[in-house]
Amino acid sequence: MWKTSWRTASLAWRGLVWLLIIGLVCPWPLLRAEEMTPQKEKELGRRFHLKVAATGAIIDDPIINKYYKAITGRIIRAAGLGPGQCSFYILRSDGINAFAVPGGFVYMHTETINSLENEGELAAIIGHEVAHLTARHFARRVEGAAGASLTAIASMLAGALLASRGGSTAALGQALMFGGTGATIQSMLANSREDEAEADAKGRQYMIKAGYDARDMYGAFKIMSQKTYQISPDIPTYLNTHPALASRLAITFKDYENAPSPAPDLRYLAFRDRVLAFSGEPRRIQTIMTGRLNQNKNDASALHALGLLAVRQQNLGEADKLMSQALALSPGNPEYLADLGDLSLKRRKPQEAKNYYEKAGQDHRQAVLGLARACELLNDKKRAAALYDRAVNMETETYPEALELAGRFFGNNGQKSKGHFYLAKYFADIGNLDQAIFHYGEVVKLAEAGNYKNMAMRETRLLKEIKEAK
């Protein structure tokens, strides 16, 4: 787990905190050392992820996620893992952090992305977190603390999140980690320095095998080390500096200290601009992007980021002006075209939106979904139906916004079973299990009424899994 600081708590993370605390009142069975199987790890990770998803903190932007997926895909292939063994998410947060949860769930904070300089540095952190998973550090610590319950383990995860925030939440976090289970939890964390060293070494191997330069791990560590002055005094010692970043820099990566700086990574910087525009504090975005435009009035990425900020602030006319200027500087940019299409829909101009989406191309998931919406508004329901299905299914990762819009479209246009199915998947993805159970139940009823036995059996199984998760 990387950690240097947390700033003011976001509303979404406050929600996560309370959901985690509420979840802890349900007693889970004690685990003997041999019982912490990969299946149990997956179960624990899934329960944790449902609580994270319910906060709305996960970034659901197909452009951001596609770029991020390309990096994570290279790392997991280098680690010898299959595509379904790890799930990667970006969380809106102004604290620098990345962490892996048992079962293959890896989370990256937006501020971490905003603090790095190139793709290789981000790959270094991803590789480090994947190494924690492949080494099964969590399971190994549990094995040294036989008798720990899943409740205590969940308390540790929740407590680490809380304590690392500092301020008024820190005491509660410390209580969750140490109240009644102090010896057990501390024993599970006792080898954290050894784990970090192993994750450094394995993560470095992964990133090199994936085609990245090992000096980028030095660059990432150096940036993290420079941020340690922000650490709250309430952070537990074993989390402080994640740990011993300074010594790890000196020992493990000293060969890279005098290496020349890499050339600017323009693709990463554009990705970083988008992440900041979607998640950053408005005044900060305005200051950064305006400063860049004062140096270079033709900085298309800065103009587009300000346009995205204007959309967030509901200043749609200004957004259109800024984003059109960015497109003029970068003609044919599919991301800019797709965003302008979304803006045109917000401005209630579906034909204009349709034109932008068609120029963006049919391999662009955001544009495909937008085109479906535009066709629906223009009463071309046959094309809209095909496009909604494509937007949902064109990539393996789920796209909650597409699931929701497609579900409502099909439900309102005579295909209730498909509508309920997509909505069930949507609500499951965002952690709203009550609604997921309702919609899966409706699919089962419709399948049984239509005598579709295979469908009824499949959806009954999914319904059972969701109920068990709840």
Q: Which residues contact 456 (CB under 8 A, 6 or more apart)?
A: 444, 447, 448
Domain boundary among 229, 256, 283: 256
Mean pLDDT score of the chain, rounded to an integer?
A: 80
Counted residue by residue, the chain has a size of 470
Q: Could you count the other beta carbons within 10 Å of the beta carbon of residue 1? A: 21
d(CA 119, CA 234): 32
Full DSSP string of 337-402 = HHHHHHHHHHTT-HHHHHHHHHHH-TT-HHHHHHHHHHHHHTT-HHHHHHHHHHHHHSSSS--HHH
Residue 47 counted as domain residue: yes
Determine which helix (DSSP H) or strand (DSSP E) holds 97, and give its type and residue range: strand 96-101
d(CA 322, CA 466): 44
Residue 415 counted as domain residue: yes
59, pLDDT greater than 70? yes
Q: Which of 103-117, 162-176, 287-301 has the highest mean pLDDT?
A: 287-301
Better pLDDT: 44 or 147: 44
d(CA 393, CA 373): 16
Q: Output the pLDDT for position 29.
A: 46
Residue 48 counted as domain residue: yes
Q: How many whole angstroms from its chain centre is CA 7?
A: 19
Q: How many whole angstroms from its chain centre is CA 167?
A: 25
182, pLDDT greater than 70? no
Work out the average pLDDT over 118-144. Answer: 85
Residue 13 counted as domain residue: yes
Assign 18 a pLDDT band (cuts: 50, 70, 90). very low
Residue 312 counted as domain residue: no
Domain boundary among 237, 256, 275: 256
d(CA 31, CA 298): 60
Residue 136 counted as domain residue: yes
- Are the beta carbons of 265 and 220 closer than 8 angstroms? no
Digit-coded pLDDT (tens) for 212-262:
998 888 888 888 777 654 443 433 333 343 545 656 665 556 666 666 777
d(CA 312, CA 305): 11
189, pLDDT greater than 90? no
d(CA 159, CA 165): 10
Q: How many whole angstroms from its chain centre is CA 159?
A: 20
Q: Which residues contact 214 (CB under 8 A, 6 or more apart)?
A: 204, 207, 208, 256
The lowest-confidence range among 52-66, 137-151, 335-349 is 137-151
Residue 38's domain spans which residues? Answer: 2-256
Residue 293 counted as domain residue: no
Per-residue HEC secondary structure of 394-460 comes to: CCCCCCHHHHHHHHHHHHHCCCHHHHHHHHHHHHHHCCCHHHHHHHHHHHHHHHHHCCCHHHHHHHH
Residue 27 counted as domain residue: yes
Domain boundary among 256, 280, 304: 256
Total tally of structural domains belonging to the chain = 2
Q: What is the pTM of this model?
A: 0.82
CB burial of residue 408 (10 Å; 0-12, 13-18, 19+): middle
Digit-coded pLDDT (tens) for 397-447:
889 999 999 999 999 999 999 999 999 999 999 989 899 999 989 988 888
